[in-house]
Copies of this chain bind each other. A is one copy, B any other.
Amino acid sequence: MQVLPGIPDIAPGDDLAALLLESIERAALSLQDGDILVIAHKVVSKAEGRITRLADVVPGEKARQLGLELNKDPRKVEVILGESSRVVRAIKRPGQLEGTLIAEHRLGFICANAAVDESNVGAEETVILLPEDPDRSAREICALLERASGVRLGVVITDTFGRPWRMGLVNVAVGLAKVPSQIDLVGERDAFGRELSVTVPALADELAAASGLLMSKDGKTPAILFRGIDWTPDNSSARDLVRPQQEDLFR
């Protein structure tokens, strides 16, 4: 697990894969078969121009109403609603300056403000959205890196989410290239020969959470290289990590 150093601030149109390769070279690393790159979505979103200037947003009636309820810029609310398929909860606690929309993102993820983010944008009056299709973004980056390096790789794109029932934030996978969302151990046996029937580790989320140990929160280390992970490529999508509502015992 290693930081890729010296990734510069990313602007729309930047060639992120090329910048990652430069960083790998600068670190005197070379990509190896089975390496997995875990990348914070923000740099992917920025490279893809998924930045919205609030000055360009005209809030609708619902956004204006929620903005009033939550003491939240209605233009920001409008962007959040545009990224959401459903508002799960809108809440502003006493003493909180600005409330939060818990929303189901159009890709299925349930998270604060539909993953629309203000921090690290550079200019004040802009917000960053998730990539349009984070799996596609991951696959494009993965393909470019594989072509340049000649080895087989995996890519995970992450965002930082809050969680029901547990405090604090962890990184989760929002886009996958080749990396399994989960490892299905059904039929394998534990140390005593008992069949493991329900042990399905969420590999992609384990990688995402682990990357948080090395991604500094100031945004300057958005890419982490994992080597030596035991995995087999598949066609997972980060959407496979979304628990279907009818299966959700925990709700």
- A contacts, CB < 8 Å to B: 1, 9, 88-89, 91, 93, 100, 102, 109-110, 112, 118-122, 160, 162-172, 181-182, 185, 188-192, 194, 196, 199-203, 205-207, 209-210, 212-213, 217-220, 226, 229, 240-243, 247-251
Contact = CB atoms under 8 A, between A and B. Distances in A.
Contact residues of A: prevailing secondary structure: loop
B213 A207 contact: yes
* 5 pairs of A and B residues whose beta carbons are closest in the complex: A168-B202, A210-B210, A209-B209, A164-B250, A168-B182
Given A122-B192, A191-B9, A170 B110 contact: no
Contacts of A162: 249-250
A186 to B, nearest CB: 11
Nearest to A185: B217
Contacts of A243: 163-167
B206 A210 contact: yes
